[in-house]
Amino acid sequence: METTAPTQYIPPKGEYNTFLDDNHYKEKLKEWGLAAGKKEFWYKDRSYQCLVTIKGYENYGISSDYNTLVIEFPDGNLSCIQPAYLKEMQQSGFGKESVIELESTVTTQVRPESKTEQKTAKPEKAAAKPKKEKAPKLELPTDKVHFTASVKQFALTYNPFNEENDEVVVLENVQIDQESPLELGLAWCSHSKTLKKFELAPGDKLEFDGKVAPKKLAKGKDVEEEFIIDQPVAYKINNPSKITKK
């Protein structure tokens, strides 16, 4: 297999998320099912292969729950790739065609209407019911900010990349301390080694610095009721630091 450059790059649309530090990098690799701490990964195609590095990631989906990786090639060019596809490339038996690549291609194509569909008149729609007014979307800060919160409970969330449940901490009464305090209500974060040192328990009050992003907490798979959160949690706090337990 020749080591050459790809025939086509898919550059990021604009600014993309970068890693806060090594711990953030390792945490995201675990979330994507890639080897934690590894700095270079194989990129393979039909006629070439090369080592690439992960420079950051983009969010997508209605609530930005999913990530697209931004990788850098040896020639300095950036391109986007799905985490699961890059993970598949690390396998020694990676073939010329990928099931994931084919599924991605199919789902992005628009299904053309058949002649029958074009000729059949669509029934008139019933009068639309008035839509409920949605709560205004919060403008979240992009920089690291100071938080106050209380521990509500511990929960398990299913990670589709490693097909396991990850332990998380669910926080309540979450507030961003700034000139105009911002109430988030519920939020969640990974129960990292740093947090485990504090031996947290429900009811503990915390202060810390961190970044917040709109990301829903997914339910754990086949877990006991005590590890399931019965309310929607729409925000994730990344890499809390300077933690103080009251």
Q: What is the pLDDT of residue 229?
A: 86
DSSP for the chain reads -B----S-----SS--B--SSHHHHHHHHHHHTSPTT---EEEE-SSBEEEEEEEEEEEESTTS-EEEEEEE-TTS-EEEE-HHHHHHHTSTT--SS-HHHHHHHHHHSPPPPPHHHHHSPPPPPPPPPPPPPPPPPP---SS-EEEEEEEEEEEEEEETTTTEEEEEEEEEEEEEESSS-EEEEEEEEE--HHHHTT---TT-EEEEEEEEEE-PPPPPSS--GGG--SS---EEEEEEEEEEE-
Q: What is the pLDDT of residue 180?
A: 87
List, for residues 61-86, the tens digit of each pLDDT value. 766 678 999 999 999 999 999 999 99
Domains and CATH numbers, the chain: 22-107 (no CATH), 145-245 (2.40.50)
Q: What is the mean pLDDT of the chain?
A: 81
- Please state the rounded mean pLDDT for residues 205-211: 94
Q: What is the pLDDT of residue 205?
A: 95
Q: What is the pLDDT of residue 102?
A: 39
List, for residues 107-139, the tens digit of each pLDDT value. 343 344 444 444 444 555 666 666 665 556 788
Least trusted range by pLDDT, from 94-108, 148-162, 195-209 = 94-108
Higher pLDDT among residues 60 and 24, named by residue: 24
